[in-house]
A and B are shown apart, each in its own frame.
Chain A
Amino acid sequence: DADVTQTPRNRITKTGKRIMLECSQTKGHDRMYWYRQDPGLGLRLIYYSFDVKDINKGEISDGYSVSRQAQAKFSLSLESAIPNQTALYFCATSSFSNEQFFGPGTRLTVL
């Protein structure tokens, strides 16, 4: 079984809809991250959490929110999706060592 899972893997939605992307991990890591990937821009950090009570904004948090429901779960919400949020979204986890382990990604299309 995969250590970091993301659901859904693909999602097509319309402008203005609320969307939630979920991430679960079985690695026992405290730290979790949400990134978006766009061609030519690499990965950009949206939000991160170093433990269950800790939430921090990343480089591009506007239009997004997160919830750390448990050590193993970190969800990303788009309150009102817009087309320029069309991207590939990755969840990652790490221990204190900084090596990050990535989920398989969620491809989101906003029409």
Chain B
Amino acid sequence: GEDVEQSLFLSVREGDSSVINCTYTDSSSTYLYWYKQEPGAGLQLLTYIFSNMDMKQDQRLTVLLNKKDKHLSLRIADTQTGDSAIYFCAENNQGGKLIFGQGTELSVKP
């Protein structure tokens, strides 16, 4: 069945780069998404990548997609304390639904 896997925790120092990884199983996904959840809030779309792309860059964010390995990553450059949050990757399936990973809690230490 469809599955999306992420590690649960990541801790970095302020100013370092953060890399959050995700693996998925549905090779027919057309879009893959990264959502951010700040404490006490709902999820907000951070960025997404179309499945025929290898990379997408948006300011401090870089998304890399390896379709062969079904591996997605989110790199945050110059990580700030305001980046502390839970990050979810998600894939869309053929039924028009999103399948979410477990979420990676990013902790940024000063």
- Chain A interface (Cβ within 8 Å of chain B)? 4, 31, 33, 35, 40-45, 48, 50, 58, 90, 92, 98-105
Q: Is the CB of A105 within 8 A of B8?
A: no
Neighbouring A residues of B41 by C-beta, 8 Å: 104-105
Give the size category of B's interface with A: 20 to 34
**Residue among B35, B48, B96, B101 facing the most chain A CB atoms (10 A cut-off):** B96
Q: Taking the nearest CB of chain B, how far is it from the CB of A2, in angstroms?
A: 9
Partner of A98, one of B8, B44, B96, B100: B96
Partner of B45, one of A33, A48, A58, A99: A99
- Chain B interface (Cβ within 8 Å of chain A)? 4, 6, 8, 31, 33, 35, 41-45, 48, 88, 92, 96-98, 100-103
Q: Is the CB of B96 within 8 A of A31?
A: yes
Partner of A104, one of B4, B42, B92: B42
Q: Please give 16 more A-B residue pairs, beta carbons under 8 A apart, in addition to A33-B97, A42-B4, A102-B35.
A: A4-B42, A40-B8, A40-B102, A42-B6, A42-B88, A42-B102, A43-B100, A48-B97, A90-B43, A98-B31, A98-B92, A98-B98, A99-B45, A102-B42, A104-B42, A105-B42
Q: Taking the nearest CB of chain B, how far is it from the CB of A18, in angstroms?
A: 25
Q: Tell me the nearest residue of chain A to B33, going by C-beta.
A: A99
